[in-house]
Structure 1
Amino acid sequence: MKIYADDQLLATGLRGGTLSRHTGNMRETAAQTPVYQALDIPADKILHIHQTHSDKIILISSPSEAQALAQQPAQEADAWVLANCPGWGAAILTADCVPLFLWDTTGNFFALAHCGWRGVVRQLPYKTAEALKQAGAKGPLFAYLGPHIQKCCFEVQADTACQFSPQSVLTQNNKFFVDLTTEIRLQLEKAGLTAKNIHAPAYCTCCDKDNFFSWRRDHIRQNLLSFIYKPL
């Protein structure tokens, strides 16, 4: 099982990362269960949302809140912030969008956001980092951008390109390409993260068919799973 993860995240005691396509299509909960079993993570302790490309963030401040939410239907949102919730975690699905992991020095405060371009335009990365700080995160924040579509493949129309910072838009042969990595970096730095604490390997889901699903490339509803979990 191949997991794209960040060493600094793992060093805090958190577990998390993005699974390659080799684990299968993660759109169905039933497909996720054997993955969590293989990782020795209790599937019923991983929270899920109904993603809508929004800027809505769900804050969980205790294990009891997490337990109550787990017993309800999935809520519409695109980011999780968990504070002091040992034994709990969260998951998102992506197929070109950015799985954004955020955490503090203690590993007791962490977040996971599904950052599609619409959510990024709505400042979801910035808002998630701010929500994590407001929840009580200790010390500097760290970020990891998991595998996602890179600027080489993310061609957009002019009306989409104009919604991004000029630094994040490239023009080639009268075509517009958006650099989601740069846009998210700008938002995280605005939230106070330093450049050295933002890890963004250039894994392109659209280019690398061997390891990743991609909606832009295949137009098939197949998803990668990203998760973050704080063991007891």
Structure 2
Amino acid sequence: MKIYADNQMLAAGLIGGTLSRQTGNMRETALQTPIYQELDIPPEKILHFHQTHSDKIIFISSPDEARTFAQKPLQEADAWVFTNCPGWGAAVLTADCVPLFLWDNTGTVFALAHCGWRGVAKKLPYKTALALKQSGIKNPLFAFLGPHIQKCCFEVQPDTACQFSAQSVFHRDGKIFVDLNAEIRLQLEQAGLAPENIHAPNRCTCCDKENFFSWRRDHIRQNLLSFIYKPL
């Protein structure tokens, strides 16, 4: 099982990352359970929502609150923020969108966001990071951008390009492209993260067919699983 993760996130006592396509299409929820079991994560302790490419954030501030949320029907949102919630975690599904992981160096607070281009345009990375900053944590925050479509492949039309900052948009061979890494970095720095604490490897889901699903490339509904969990 191949997991794309950040060493500093693991050092903070968190378990998580993005699974490669070899584990199967994670839209099939039954395939998720054995993955969690292999990692000694109780599947029932991983929360889910219905992703809508929004800027809505769900806040979980205690194990009791997580337990209550787990018993409710799926809500619509695109980001999780956890504070003081050991024994719980969350997951998102992606296929070109950015799985954005955020945490402090103790793992006391952490977040996971599903950042499609619409969510990024609505400042979801900034809003998620700011929510963690405003939780009262005094430690520096870290970020990891999991595998997603990179600037080499993310061609857009002018009506999409105009929703991003100028430094994230470039032209090549008469076409327009957006650099989501650059845009998310900008938003995270605006929220107060140090540039050196933002890790954005150049792993393109559209280019790398061997390891990743890609909606842009294949137009098939197949998803990668990204998850984050704080053990007891």
Alignment TM-score, normalising by the size of structure 1: 0.99
Contact 1:109 1:136 in 2 (8 A): no
CA distance in 1, matches of 2:125, 2:132: 11
Contact 1:168 1:183 in 2 (8 A): yes
Structure 1 residue 229 corresponds to structure 2 residue 229: yes
Letter in 1 for 2:229: Y
Deviations 1:144-201 (A, max 9, x none): 0000000000000011011100100010122100000000000000001111000000
Deviations 1:109-131 (A, max 9, x none): 00000000000000000000011
CA distance in 2, matches of 1:38, 1:174: 48
Tell me the equivalent position of 2:167.
167
CA distance in 1, matches of 2:80, 2:19: 18
Gaps of 5+ in 1: none
CA distance in 1, matches of 2:58, 2:28: 21
CA distance in 2, matches of 1:134, 1:28: 36
Tell me the equivalent position of 2:86.
86
Tell me the equivalent position of 2:10.
10
SS at match of 1:132: helix
Tell me the equivalent position of 1:56.
56
Tell me the equivalent position of 1:113.
113
Letter in 2 for 1:207: C
Tell me the equivalent position of 2:136.
136
Letter in 1 for 2:105: T
Deviations 1:80-107 (A, max 9, x none): 0000000000000000000000001221
Gaps of 5+ in 2: none
Contact 2:9 2:105 in 1 (8 A): no
Deviations 1:181-231 (A, max 9, x none): 000000000001111000000000000000000000000000000000000
CA distance in 2, matches of 1:70, 1:128: 21
Letter in 2 for 1:62: S
CA apart distance, 1:65: 0.3
Letter in 2 for 1:172: R
Letter in 2 for 1:140: P
Residues 173-212 of structure 1: pairs in structure 2 closer than 5 A: 173-212=173-212
Percent of aligned pairs sharing the same letter:
79
Tell me the equivalent position of 1:22.
22
Alignment TM-score, normalising by the size of structure 2: 0.99
Letter in 2 for 1:105: N
Structure 1 runs (4+) greater than 4 angstroms displaced: none
Residues 85-104 of structure 1: pairs in structure 2 closer than 5 A: 85-104=85-104
Residues 122-161 of structure 1: pairs in structure 2 closer than 5 A: 122-161=122-161
CA distance in 2, matches of 1:96, 1:137: 31
